[in-house]
């Protein structure tokens, strides 16, 4: 039997910033890549006709790989006896591989090579993020989970600004190099600023059968965990669809030859609005013990904004709906992570369980892009790009609606 000596304590503001800083640089990387860089590279490589479907399969394969990697690496980190801690060694290896993959992607020529490097990036990035996600249950007290989740949400929002500005002001290759350096900085800040207690070993006996059985979370015993998983899956279906296809929405629906300036404006609007809600909602969820209420409200507001994109022909209204989306997104982010930690099985395997929970996002990316890719393949030739992308955004509203409504099925958390 192995006993993890965790060290939860009341975190100071600098400790909360250090804990969430790796989330900031990681989200900055994915914001830049998914929203601007990868769509632009794919469009340049394959052309307008195939860009939507090829982008869909690229991101779907990456998300599928992430879904496999995260819980497996998380489970190994739960058992790690490294003297520097359970999480740090995996984070270091993952970030070094991530930085290398980013630099090579900036030099790639041809879609096949770019796709292969993208999958390598997914491999190493998730090797780092799987154990990292367990740091919150490792070090944060129950009564501070909403605040800690709020800091994670705050960093996610701050990352949006950097993620859209870097590729706007720097060429593609330089953007990849900057993102590589930022991953190293984020790793350093978090591993230095967050103390970690190594695993104490009572017995080192290995059982493959027991290791594999640990990946099963019983719906009967842990129904709340499954409801949180399902509702986040649905909300992330909506979010992933908006995230991956906003560039093409602005290009084909709003008829912008260069979507980057408007994309920057919309994402900055999302960020500024979310900053108004992210820390406040997290703090309120701790004070009122009303996590579900915040998650439901955030999801519904995002759904309303997504529906607004469908019907507007005004760039001013695109910005307005981006502001509305930001208010909902900040509210959702500030409590979503805390709700997940609240319903974790009491097994002492936080990284494995958080890795399984994270599949709700990576599987959502796979499903969202697969559905969108198939939908666009079937409809663009008949309806044209503009109508096809508008209908695609109606589908995102449905995702948000059901994802919010089903949160009410969670029973043991208020």
Question: pLDDT band at 204, cuts 50/70/90?
Answer: low
Handedness of CA 257, 260, 263, 265 (dihedral sign): negative
The pLDDT tens digits of the residues spanning 40-92 come to: 888 888 887 777 778 878 887 888 888 888 888 888 887 777 777 778 889 99
Please say whether the beta carbons of 20 and 155 come within 8 A: yes
- Residues recorded for the chain: 414
C-alpha 79, offset from chain centre = 25
The pLDDT tens digits of the residues spanning 112-143 come to: 899 999 999 999 999 998 888 877 777 777 67
Phi then psi for 326, rounded to 5 degrees? -60, -40
Q: How far apart are CA 157 and CA 24, in angstroms?
A: 8
Query: Looking at beta carbons, which pairs linking 75-79 to residues 24 or more positions away fall under 8 Å?
Result: 75/211, 75/214, 75/215, 75/349, 75/351, 75/352, 75/355, 77/130, 77/131, 77/134, 77/351, 78/4, 78/134, 78/348, 78/349, 78/350, 78/351, 78/352, 79/2, 79/199
The pLDDT tens digits of the residues spanning 333-369 come to: 777 777 777 777 766 666 677 777 777 877 887 788 8
Looking at the chain, the number of H-run helices and the number of E-run strands are 15, 2
Q: How far apart are CA 21 and CA 190, in angstroms?
A: 6
The pLDDT tens digits of the residues spanning 263-299 come to: 888 888 888 888 888 777 767 776 766 778 888 889 9
Query: Which residues lie across from 3 on neighbouring strands?
Result: 200
Q: How far apart are CA 299 and CA 236, in angstroms?
A: 10
User: Which CATH superfamily is 10-197+219-409 part of?
Assistant: MFS general substrate transporter like domains (1.20.1250.20)
**Does the pLDDT value for residue 5 go beyond 60?**
no
User: How is the chain split into domains, by residue range?
Assistant: 10-197+219-409
Residues with Cβ within 8 Å of 267's Cβ and at least 6 positions away in sequence, in order, are 31, 35, 160, 161, 163, 164, 322
Per-residue pLDDT at 3: 38
């Amino acid at each position: 039997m192995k006993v993890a000596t965790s060290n939860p304590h009341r975190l100071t503001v600098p400790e909360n910033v250090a804990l969430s800083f790796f989330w900031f640089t990681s989200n900055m990387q994915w914001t830049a890549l998914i929203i601007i860089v990868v769509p632009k590279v794919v469009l340049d490589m394959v052309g307008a006709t195939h860009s939507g479907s090829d982008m869909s399969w690229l991101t779907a394969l990456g998300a599928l790989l992430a879904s496999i990697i995260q819980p497996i690496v998380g489970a190994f980190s739960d058992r790690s006896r490294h003297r520097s801690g359970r999480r740090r060694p995996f984070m270091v290896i993952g970030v070094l591989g991530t930085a290398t993959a980013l630099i090579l992607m900036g030099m790639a020529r041809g879609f096949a090579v770019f796709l292969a490097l993208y999958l390598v990036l997914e491999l190493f990035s998730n090797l780092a993020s799987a154990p990292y996600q367990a740091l919150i249950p490792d070090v944060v007290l129950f009564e501070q989970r909403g605040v800690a989740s709020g800091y994670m949400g705050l960093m996610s929002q701050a990352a949006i600004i950097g993620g859209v500005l870097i590729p706007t002001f720097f060429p593609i290759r330089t953007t990849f190099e900057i993102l590589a350096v930022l991953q190293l900085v984020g790793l350093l800040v978090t591993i230095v600023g967050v103390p970690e207690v190594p695993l104490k070993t009572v017995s080192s006996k290995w059982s493959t059968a027991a290791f594999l059985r640990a990946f099963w979370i019983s719906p009967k015993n842990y129904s709340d965990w499954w409801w949180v998983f399902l509702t986040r899956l649905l909300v992330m279906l909506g979010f992933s669809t908006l995230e991956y296809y906003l560039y093409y929405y602005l290009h084909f629906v709003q008829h912008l030859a260069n979507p980057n300036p408007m994309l920057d404006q919309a994402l900055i609007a999302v960020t500024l609005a979310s900053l108004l809600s992210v820390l406040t909602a997290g703090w309120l969820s701790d004070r009122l013990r009303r996590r579900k209420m915040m998650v439901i409200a955030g999801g519904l507001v995002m759904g309303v904004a997504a529906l607004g994109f469908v019907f507007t022909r005004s760039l001013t209204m695109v910005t307005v709906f981006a502001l509305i989306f930001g208010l909902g997104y900040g509210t959702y982010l500030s409590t979503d992570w805390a709700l997940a930690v609240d319903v974790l099985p009491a097994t002492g395997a936080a990284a494995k369980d958080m890795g399984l929970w994270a599949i709700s996002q990576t599987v959502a990316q796979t499903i969202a892009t697969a559905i969108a890719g198939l939908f666009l393949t079937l409809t663009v030739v008949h309806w044209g790009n503009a109508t096809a992308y508008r209908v695609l955004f109606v589908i995102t509203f449905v995702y948000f609606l059901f994802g919010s409504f089903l949160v009410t099925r969670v029973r043991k958390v208020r």
